[in-house]
Amino acid sequence: MTAAAATANAAGSGALPVTILTGFLGAGKTTLVNRLLSAPHGRRLAVLVNEFGAVGIDAELIVGAAGPVVELANGCICCATQGDLYRALAGICARGDLDGVLVETSGLADPAPIEEGIVARRFPRELRVDAIVTVIDAANFDDNLERAEAAYHQIARGDLLLVNKVDLVDPTAPRQIARGIRTLNHGARIIDCVSCAVPADVVMGTRRLDAGFHLHRHDHGHDDFQSAVLCAAAPLDAERFDAWLDTLPTSIYRAKGFVRLAGVERPLLVHVVGTRRSVELAPAQVETAGARLVVIGHDLQAAPLEAGLRACTAMAGEGVR
């Protein structure tokens, strides 16, 4: 048992703390997880990563975990894959060598039934929900609330609200966002940040002492969002791939995954959030011969999307160096 676990037991808790990390698509949840894992807090943490799509991407982006990393794909743990969540948590409880659990929800999850399932139904003595931490995309705050009921529930239920990416908005925007947040959640702590740069001890252990626990009816339907997995078997031409990204329909709100470009030795990690995109080297453990992307949006036409991606394949002779 580590020092952090011993301290918790000495305080009479005995229950393993669970921090639920939620936030809408592309807000920065995985960035927050990696920051928490790399911080010098001395805790041995397990990580559960939930993805709405059938193929997981985020679990491969988790680095530095001292405990297990468990991927829960192909549905939201707030409803469709709750059984997978409970089985994973049961395995974690049986270990006895951990100091806490980070649960990264999908971007379309309502955190309320996740908390209720853990505390009220399955693990009332073994686990305690330490906090619901909601990451908010400052650059897309209004659009997300208009687009999806899930974004509303994530803010309303949060104990700590991280307004992320404030470097991408006008300096007056965070104050306006805070006023909007207060109409949805009066008591949560609000912190502005860039790349989720928040001390780990602020994120883990934030639950208000007077926070009550109330059951809520869970009837949201993920606002008709869909996901599709798009694959290509060979390296892509950079210019054609960039042009393909430009043609993605506005009904696609989020795309993420791994791409190998012709002439580039290592796969790349690609993120698309609305009209904004980023490309960087993928973690060293990631392997892909061509492309593996998950797209999330409305009214997805998977076949033509994948055909367009495969059309980006590099010409013969343009293989990887």
Q: Which of the residue ranges 15-19, 200-204, 219-223, 228-232 would you say has the lowest mean pLDDT? A: 219-223
One domain for residues 182 and 262: no
Q: pLDDT band at residue 55, thresholds of 50, 70 and 90?
A: low
Whether 316 is covered by a domain: the verdict is: no
What are the tens digits of pLDDT across the range 168-178? 999 999 999 99
Query: How many domains, the chain?
Result: 2
| Domain end marker among 222, 251, 270 | 222
| Domain end marker among 171, 204, 222 | 222
Tell whether the model's pLDDT for residue 319 goes beyond 60: no
Q: What is the pLDDT of residue 77?
A: 77
Domain that holds residue 300: 225-310
Whether 58 contacts 233, CB under 8 Å = no
Q: What is the pLDDT of residue 3?
A: 33
Collect contacts of 236-242 with beta carbons under 8 A, ≥24 apart: 236/260, 236/261, 236/262, 236/290, 236/291, 236/309, 236/312, 236/313, 236/314, 237/261, 237/262, 237/312, 237/313, 237/314, 237/315, 237/318, 238/262, 238/263, 238/264, 240/311, 240/312, 241/291, 241/309, 241/312
One domain for residues 116 and 214: yes
Whether 320 is covered by a domain: the verdict is: no
Both tokens assigned to 166: 């404030």
One domain for residues 249 and 302: yes
DSSP for 85-125, written as a single string: HHHHHHHHHHH---SEEEEE--TT--HHHHHHIIIIII-TT
One domain for residues 126 and 78: yes
Q: pLDDT band at residue 97, thresholds of 50, 70 and 90?
A: very high
Tell whether the model's pLDDT for residue 121 goes beyond 80: no
The pLDDT of 8-37, averaged and rounded, is 82
As a whole number, the mean pLDDT across the chain is: 84
Whether 275 is covered by a domain: the verdict is: yes
What are the tens digits of pLDDT across the range 255-305? 889 999 999 989 999 988 766 788 888 988 899 999 999 988 888 899 999
Whether 315 is covered by a domain: the verdict is: no
Instruction: Name every residue whose Cβ is closer than 8 Å to that of residue 252 and which is 6 or more positions away in sequence.
Output: 272, 295, 296, 297, 300
One domain for residues 129 and 263: no
What are the tens digits of pLDDT across the range 234-246? 999 999 999 999 9
In the chain, % of residues over pLDDT 90 = 54
Q: What is the CATH number of the domain that holds 302?
A: 3.30.1220.10
Task: Report how far residue 127's alpha carbon sits from residue 184's, in angstroms, rounded to the nearest whole number.
Answer: 28
One domain for residues 258 and 184: no
| Domain end marker among 177, 199, 222 | 222
- Give backbone dihedrals phi and psi of 269, rounded to 5 degrees, phi first: -100, 125
Tell whether the model's pLDDT for residue 7 goes beyond 70: no
Q: What is the CATH number of the domain that holds 89?
A: 3.40.50.300
